[in-house]
Amino acid sequence: MATVYGANYTKVYQPTDGKPSMPAANEVGGRLRIWHDSYEASSLAASSTIYVAKLPALSRVYNVWVIADALGSGVQLSVGTAADPDAFITAAAMNTNHKMLTMQKVDAAASGTGIAGVGLLLSAETDIVVATNAGQTSSGTIQVGIIYSCD
């Protein structure tokens, strides 16, 4: 059996040069923050983008969820950044009432989701968006939550 140490544990408690260093506060010891927003869709056009948050530079995103009413049989939502609309949650059908998607429940092999999305460092101030697919118009309540650290 081996004894091994995580990267930040090593920096603080097992430094290779004998001098401990403190990891960035957005990784160790920082405060988690939450951003919650909602949007009431009423015949929202297909392929729409809903801006739900603007996170500060050097934020680390630790979890994102979206929950919605039954928006329609062909309606899919994804959550990401303006540059990468599925960075956190890959497009998924929102065809049942109060369906909830989180970063942990998406296909880890999909672009920008799963392990690649958890702890994502935003190097600049970044808009977080919910994108709809090209399927059809949608109506209903959409809520989004983002847990992140920036200090």
Pick from 61, 48, 141, 47: which is nearest to 94 by CA? 141
Q: Is the pLDDT of residue 2 over 70?
A: yes
Q: Which two tokens stand for residue 13?
A: 């408690």
Query: What pTM does this model have?
Result: 0.82
pLDDT at position 98, please?
Answer: 76
pLDDT at position 49, please?
Answer: 93
Q: Is the pLDDT of residue 95 over 60?
A: yes
Q: Is the pLDDT of residue 148 over 70?
A: yes
Mean local confidence (pLDDT), 57-82:
89
CA distances for 96 relative to 54, 101, 133, 136, angstroms: 28, 12, 16, 15
- Averaged confidence pLDDT in the chain: 85
- 3-state SS, the chain, equals CCCCCCHHHHHHHCCCCCCCCCCCCCCCCCCEEEEEEEEEEEEECCCCEEEEEEECCCEEEEEEEEEECCCCCCCEEEEEECCCCCCCEEEEECCCCCEEEEHHHCCCCCCCCHHHCCCEEECCCEEEEEEECCCCCEEEEEEEEEEEECC
pLDDT at position 111, please?
Answer: 46
Per-residue confidence band for 55, with pLDDT thresholds at 50, 70 and 90? very high
Q: Is the pLDDT of residue 94 over 60?
A: yes
Q: Is the pLDDT of residue 105 over 50?
A: no
